[in-house]
């Protein structure tokens, strides 16, 4: 199972013809694109369930929400999908975005932890500087994703010393990663395998963060 060239071609054409008339006239093409995307996501879902427990996957709607946006283009010229892990004990989520402009990527993590979860993560990083670094500094993780990315506060959060060894991580408000792909890579027959291997590389990070977010500072379950 692979992303077909016609899918990228459709999104490329859509970018320069982002209007209802063109989209209506190209409905047969869009139906093939939707099928290609859904089949690909179902294939990835099957692969992921061999090594994880996925509750469901979601595919973004092609219609943009333009109510509060300065950009009034009607349709997305890319697709974005996510895989939701099953159960409260499994935190984190996998994402895949295919963009005809060569900005495709896969990855995942913790995009906007709620305040209690963010504090719990920071407290863990404060008392244990080694566990998280062993994961994100591993060769496979760095070769695949580089480093954690996301918004961060300018200085140390309230209640945390700026001298802490993990202050670079404690300052973060998001904990995500991404691995980019060129258009040529996206349409290769082994693209699904490449995405799957990237997702597998995330598992130790997810497992660690799940253990943090489902226990208190004494290691007792919180659900």
Q: What is the pLDDT along the chain (223 residues), one digit of tens a residue?
A: 899 999 999 999 999 999 999 999 999 999 999 999 999 999 999 999 999 999 999 999 999 887 777 778 899 999 999 999 999 899 999 999 999 888 999 999 999 899 999 999 999 999 999 999 999 999 999 999 999 999 999 989 999 999 999 999 999 999 999 999 999 999 999 999 999 999 999 999 999 999 999 998 888 888 7
- Contact at 8 Å (CB) between 194 and 185? yes
Say what the pTM is.
Answer: 0.91
**Residue 146, Cβ neighbours under 10 Å: how many?**
13
Domain ranges (residues) in the chain: 5-213
Token digits of residue 137 = 């500094």
d(CA 40, CA 35): 8
């Amino acid at each position: 199972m692979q992303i077909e060239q016609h899918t990228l071609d459709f999104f490329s054409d859509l970018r320069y013809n982002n209007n209802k008339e063109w989209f209506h006239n190209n409905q047969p093409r869009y139906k093939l694109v939707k099928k290609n995307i859904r089949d690909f996501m179902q294939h990835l879902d099957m692969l992921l369930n061999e090594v994880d427990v996925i509750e469901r996957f979601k595919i973004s709607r092609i219609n943009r929400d333009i109510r509060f946006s300065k950009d009034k283009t009607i349709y997305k010229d890319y697709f974005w999908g996510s895989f939701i892990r099953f159960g409260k004990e499994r935190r984190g989520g996998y994402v895949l975005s295919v963009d005809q402009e060569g900005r495709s990527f896969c990855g995942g993590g913790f995009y906007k932890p709620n305040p209690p979860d963010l504090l719990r993560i920071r407290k863990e990083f404060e008392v244990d500087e080694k566990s998280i670094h062993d994961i994100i500094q591993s060769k496979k993780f760095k070769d695949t994703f580089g480093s954690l990315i996301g918004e961060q506060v300018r200085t140390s959060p309230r209640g945390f010393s700026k001298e802490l060894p993990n202050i670079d991580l404690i300052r973060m408000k998001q904990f995500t990663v991404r691995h980019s792909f060129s258009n040529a890579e996206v349409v290769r027959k082994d693209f699904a395998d490449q995405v799957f291997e990237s997702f597998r590389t995330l598992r130790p990070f997810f497992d660690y963060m799940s253990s943090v977010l489902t226990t208190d500072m004494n290691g007792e379950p919180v659900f």
